[in-house]
């Protein structure tokens, strides 16, 4: 067979070819050859040039086709079950309907190729160039496509159940209506990737990059966001899409986490932003723990870049008010209400909805959002309640000296003025703090010690709050 051409030997079958190849190891060029429907099962086809060759319907199962050139070759409906293709180039090749079950394709070039309807069950495509490759309707069940280049690839209607796509770059790829049940997508780049109407139930999504991805109509009963894939998050129908769609968002960072106060005033913050920017649809998307604190994500719907920047600026200012209020535990709510009164509270009072009334001093309030209506009657500038307390506790108190009694009467007169002087009230406040509680209890014995102690603490607190709001 030494004088036979490679083509003639190939037609004799794999045994004849392998025997001939042992004595003919030179480079073989079969560019544009018609090799359709040949039986090349288990053949040694390493380092052969099959550029633009016709291998349609060939039996290449178990064949060794490593370091070969199959660029633009036609392998439609060919059987490459268990074939070894490592190191080969199949750029712009045609493998529609081909069988590549358990084929070894690590590191090969398949950019721009067509594998629509192909069966790649269990195939290994680790670190493979699949740029703009078409896998439409292909079966990649259990295939290893990790760390591969899938930018712009078409995997619509493909079956990727249990497939490994960890650390792959799938930017701009199409997974429309694809099945990715239990697929491993950890650390994959999914920016601008489309998963519309796909089923990703049980997918591993730890550290995925998802900016701009599309998940309209996606099906996801549960997903794993932890690194090891051991803690599933369960979703009701439509919930995954609602929580993780790529609508415009802003993030608010809370160092040290969210306090009860910040959590309770979060609805007011959202309501305030909604009223300031009526064209935006603002909603709370998520609250999650992060390194060193907490992150609150607000969804802005389809807000454009300009509106997003304005909302982020305003939200950051309100966030700073919340954080500033942390520093003074006693006055934190009052400080925030005073600074937000003209915008947030007034707008809430104007909304037509069920009312909730708070009468008397308010130290922690959960401010409602949406159409809820909240009234906070703190009466910072109303001194009548203070005068009543002073009358009850101090006026006519037999435990006071004449000088102390005169101080009390002077304070009452100042409080009853339309615009009391802050300096005189401060003087009275210091007088109250220096007044021995025992003397007060002794002088009002009929009230009972326990009741008087409560009123005394209330008087000190309200007096301090009143002075704080006197201009």
- Looking at the fold, whether 262 and 336 belong to one and the same domain comes out as yes
Q: Average pLDDT in the 421-448 region?
A: 67
Whether residue 370 lies inside any domain: the answer is no
Whether residue 269 lies inside any domain: the answer is yes
The least confident of 213-227, 354-368, 414-428 is 354-368
What CATH number is given to the structural domain containing 129? 2.160.20.80
Q: CB of 88 within 8 A of CB of 69?
A: yes
Q: Average pLDDT in the 3-21 region?
A: 89
Residue 329 has pLDDT above 50, yes or no: no
Tell me how far apart the 2 most distant CA atoms of the chain are, in Å: 134
- Looking at the fold, whether 133 and 241 belong to one and the same domain comes out as yes
- Looking at the fold, whether 129 and 228 belong to one and the same domain comes out as yes
3-class state of residue 324 by DSSP: helix
Q: What is the value of pTM for the model shown?
A: 0.58
d(CA 197, CA 468): 58
Q: Average pLDDT in the 26-38 region?
A: 93
Whether residue 5 lies inside any domain: the answer is yes
- Mean pLDDT highest for which of 143-147, 301-305, 330-334? 143-147
Share of the chain above pLDDT 90, in %: 46
pLDDT digits (tens, 9 = 90+) for 454-466: 566 667 767 776 7
Tokens standing for 25?
A: 């190891």
Residue 58 has pLDDT above 60, yes or no: yes
Whether residue 362 lies inside any domain: the answer is no
pLDDT given at position 354 = 42
Which has more pLDDT, 415 or 34? Answer: 34
- As beta bridge partners, residue 144 has 124, 164
Q: Domain end: 246, 273, 299, which one?
A: 246
Residue 113 has pLDDT above 90, yes or no: yes
What CATH number is given to the structural domain containing 258? 3.30.70
- Looking at the fold, whether 208 and 297 belong to one and the same domain comes out as no
- Of the pLDDT bands very low, low, confident and very high (cuts 50, 70, 90), residue 251 is confident
Share of the chain above pLDDT 70, in %: 78
Q: What is the DSSP letter of 294?
A: E
**Helix, strand, coil % (nearest 5) of the chain?**
30, 15, 50
- Looking at the fold, whether 197 and 267 belong to one and the same domain comes out as no
Q: Compute the C-alpha angle 47/53/57, nearest 5°.
A: 105
Q: Domain end: 231, 246, 261, which one?
A: 246
- Looking at the fold, whether 209 and 337 belong to one and the same domain comes out as no
pLDDT given at position 441 = 59
Q: How remote is the C-alpha of 233 from its chain's centroid? A: 13
- Looking at the fold, whether 239 and 269 belong to one and the same domain comes out as no
* Bridge-based pairing state of the strands 355-359 and 373-377: parallel
Q: Domain end: 103, 119, 150, which one?
A: 103
Tokens standing for 170?
A: 């799938």
- Looking at the fold, whether 261 and 149 belong to one and the same domain comes out as no
Q: 298: which residues sit within 8 A by CB, 6+ positions away?
A: 249, 250, 251, 252, 270, 273, 282, 283, 284, 285, 311, 315
When divided into structural domains, the chain yields a total of 4
pLDDT digits (tens, 9 = 90+) for 337-390: 455 544 544 454 454 444 444 434 443 333 434 433 333 333 344 567 677 777
Residue 287 has pLDDT above 50, yes or no: yes
Whether residue 358 lies inside any domain: the answer is no
The least confident of 96-105, 113-122, 256-265 is 256-265
d(CA 337, CA 379): 12
Residue 79 has pLDDT above 60, yes or no: yes
- CA of 256: how far to CAs of 188, 208, 252, 326, in Å? 30, 25, 13, 11
- Looking at the fold, whether 238 and 265 belong to one and the same domain comes out as no
- Looking at the fold, whether 202 and 287 belong to one and the same domain comes out as no
- Looking at the fold, whether 52 and 154 belong to one and the same domain comes out as no
pLDDT given at position 301 = 72
Whether residue 310 lies inside any domain: the answer is yes
- Looking at the fold, whether 211 and 303 belong to one and the same domain comes out as no
pLDDT given at position 104 = 97
Whether residue 20 lies inside any domain: the answer is yes
d(CA 324, CA 126): 52
- Of the pLDDT bands very low, low, confident and very high (cuts 50, 70, 90), residue 392 is low
pLDDT digits (tens, 9 = 90+) for 191-206: 999 999 999 999 999 9
H helix or E strand, kind and range, residue 381:
none
- Mean pLDDT highest for which of 104-108, 304-308, 370-374, 443-447? 104-108
Q: Average pLDDT in the 310-339 region?
A: 68
Whether residue 416 lies inside any domain: the answer is yes
**Each residue of 109-143: b (16+ CB within 10 Å) or e?**
bbbbbbbbbbbbbbbbbbbbbbbbbbbbbbbbbbb
Query: 418: domain range?
Result: 384-468
Residue 3 has pLDDT above 70, yes or no: no
- Of the pLDDT bands very low, low, confident and very high (cuts 50, 70, 90), residue 440 is low
């Amino acid at each position: 067979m030494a004088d036979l051409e490679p083509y003639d030997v190939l037609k004799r079958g794999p045994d004849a070819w392998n025997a001939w190849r042992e004595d003919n190891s030179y480079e073989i060029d079969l560019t544009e050859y018609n090799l359709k429907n040949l039986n090349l099962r288990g053949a040694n086809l390493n380092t052969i040039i099959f550029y633009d060759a016709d291998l349609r319907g060939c039996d290449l199962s178990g064949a060794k086709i490593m370091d070969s050139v199959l660029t633009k070759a036609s392998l439609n409906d060919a059987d490459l079950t268990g074939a070894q293709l490592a190191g080969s180039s199949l750029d712009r090749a045609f493998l529609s309907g081909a069988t590549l079950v358990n084929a070894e394709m690590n590191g090969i070039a398949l950019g721009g190729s067509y594998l629509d309807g192909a069966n790649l069950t269990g195939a290994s495509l680790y670190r493979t160039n699949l740029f703009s490759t078409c896998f439409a309707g292909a079966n990649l069940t259990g295939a290893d496509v990790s760390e591969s280049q899938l930018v712009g690839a078409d995997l619509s209607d493909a079956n990727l159940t249990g497939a490994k796509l960890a650390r792959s770059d799938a930017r701009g790829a199409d997974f429309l209506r694809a099945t990715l049940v239990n697929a491993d997508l950890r650390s994959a780049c999914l920016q601008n990737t489309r998963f519309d109407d796909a089923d990703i139930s049980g997918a591993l999504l730890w550290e995925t990059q998802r900016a701009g991805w599309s998940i309209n109509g996606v099906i996801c009963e549960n997903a794993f966001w932890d690194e090891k894939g051991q803690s599933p998050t369960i979703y009701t129908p439509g919930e995954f899409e609602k929580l993780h769609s790529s609508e415009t968002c802003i993030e608010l960072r809370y160092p040290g986490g969210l306090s009860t106060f910040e959590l309770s005033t979060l609805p007011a913050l959202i309501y305030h932003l909604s009223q300031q920017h009526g064209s935006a649809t603002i909603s709370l998307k998520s609250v999650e723990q992060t390194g060193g604190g907490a992150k609150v994500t607000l969804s802005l719907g389809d807000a454009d870049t300009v509106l997003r920047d304005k909302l982020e600026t305003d939200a950051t200012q309100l966030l700073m008010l919340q954080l500033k209020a942390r520093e003074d535990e006693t006055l934190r709510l009052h400080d925030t209400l005073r600074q937000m009164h003209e915008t947030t509270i007034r707008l809430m009072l104007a909304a037509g909805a069920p009312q909730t009334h708070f009468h008397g001093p308010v130290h922690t309030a959960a401010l409602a959002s949406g159409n809820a209506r909240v009234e906070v009657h703190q009466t910072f500038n109303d001194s009548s309640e203070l005068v009543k307390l002073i009358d009850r506790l101090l006026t006519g108190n037999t435990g006071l000296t004449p000088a102390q009694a005169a101080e009390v009467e002077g304070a009452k007169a100042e409080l009853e003025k339309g615009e009391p002087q802050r300096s005189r009230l401060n003087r009275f406040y210091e007088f109250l703090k220096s007044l021995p509680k025992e003397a007060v209890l002794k002088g009002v014995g009929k009230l009972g010690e326990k009741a008087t102690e409560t009123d005394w603490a209330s008087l000190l607190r309200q007096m301090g709050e009143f002075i704080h709001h006197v201009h």
